[in-house]
Amino acid sequence: MRPKLTIGSRGSKLALTQTNQVADMIRAAIPGVEVDITIISTRGDRILDKPLAEIGGKGLFTEELEAALRDGSIDLAVHSLKDLPTDDPEGLCIAASPKRLTPNDALVSKYESLKALPAGATVGTSSLRRKAQLLAMNPELNIVDIRGNIDTRMGKVTETAELDAVILACAGLERIDRADAITEVIAPEDMLPAASQGVLGIQTRADDTELREALSAIHDSNTYAEALAERTLLAGLGGGCQVPIGALAKVEGETITLEACVCSLDGLTILRSTLNGGVDTAQALGQQAAQDLLTQGADAIVADIV
């Protein structure tokens, strides 16, 4: 194994925290290796005045990191896997995913739960998936687009009282040691998370066999199976961040269960599918769930949005 590795990371507090965590895992798994971190700004980081759905598309938070991988200026990149397209870019691959953190969404609010939010309460989120499921629960909520880092978004509730609530990922709050700010861990029956939420994807060049083999020491097979089922579902539906699609797979013993939904933007229509099978059927389960939702009419919802 070469003596020095360079990891590419976005510059946000969350991105750097999770990249440093991966760097520590690598140092523990490969004694003596030197690990450096290079900060790379992405288009998604630079454009903060527009909703994600408006500027969305493949590579919003990843293109610049992938370019650095290809030109050899970094050896690996750490991504939130939900930010990556379901198909590997040419010449690159996901070499490892460490153990998943809590995949659920989180409520940060002065109210004790989602269901306690009164009519007219103002909730901040830039996610169409979250917005649709919020409206399905309470169509009288006032939902506003909100961008920025975790502290900025939480501050609009806890400091300025500009918002009554924000919806964030539990995993992000856990990674920066702010799980104490979570008012409610939102149950999947109320809000299914994004595919691969809480999962990190460590991306390398596909031909870097030595590094890929070394990274197997920090790879978690159950996390991989869950992400595979969820991302296969997403690919089968042809949806990205512009389409409200929720997915959550859970491995228990030798069984994997996949819950999924496709929502209309107004939350009036939510199609659901729940399937289970052996862990080794994760990909097939994702394909089956996508077909189940398409049979229910998901193709019409996706076509209407995209």
What's the fold here for domain 229-305?
A: Double Stranded RNA Binding Domain (3.30.160)
CATH 3.30.160.40 boundaries in the chain: 229-305
Q: Boundaries of CATH 3.40.190.10 in the chain?
A: 4-97+199-219, 105-185
Contact indicator for 190, 129 with CB cutoff of 8 Å = no
Q: Would you state the pLDDT for residue 52?
A: 53
Q: How far apart are CA 254 and CA 275, in angstroms?
A: 14
Residues 83, 53 contacting (CB under 8 angstroms): no
Residues 213-246 have pLDDT tens digits of 999 999 999 999 999 999 999 999 986 667 899 9
Share of the chain above pLDDT 70, in %: 93
Give the range among 67-76, 128-137, 236-245 with minimum mean pLDDT: 236-245
Angle at 187 between CA 198 and CA 130, to 5 degrees: 70
CATH T-level fold of 4-97+199-219: D-Maltodextrin-Binding Protein; domain 2 (3.40.190)
pLDDT at 63 (0 to 100): 87
Q: Give the pLDDT score at 243.
A: 83
Check whether 151 has a pLDDT greater than 60.
Answer: yes
Q: Identify the pLDDT of residue 42.
A: 78
Query: Active-site residues: which are they?
Result: 83
DSSP strand E in the chain: where? 4-9, 34-39, 76-80, 92-96, 105-109, 122-124, 142-144, 165-169, 184-185, 200-205, 245-252, 255-263, 270-278
The first and second tokens of residue 294, run together, are: 């398409």
pLDDT tens-digit map of 262-306:
999 999 999 999 999 999 999 999 999 999 999 999 999 988 886
pLDDT per position as a tens digit, 154-191: 999 989 989 999 999 999 999 999 999 999 999 999 99
Q: How many helices (H) and strands (E) does the chain have?
A: 11, 13
- What is the residue-averaged pLDDT of the chain? 92
The CATH fold assigned to 105-185 is D-Maltodextrin-Binding Protein; domain 2 (3.40.190)
User: Which residue did the predictor score with more confidence, 184 or 43?
Assistant: 184
Helix, strand, coil tally for the chain in percent (to 5): 40, 25, 35
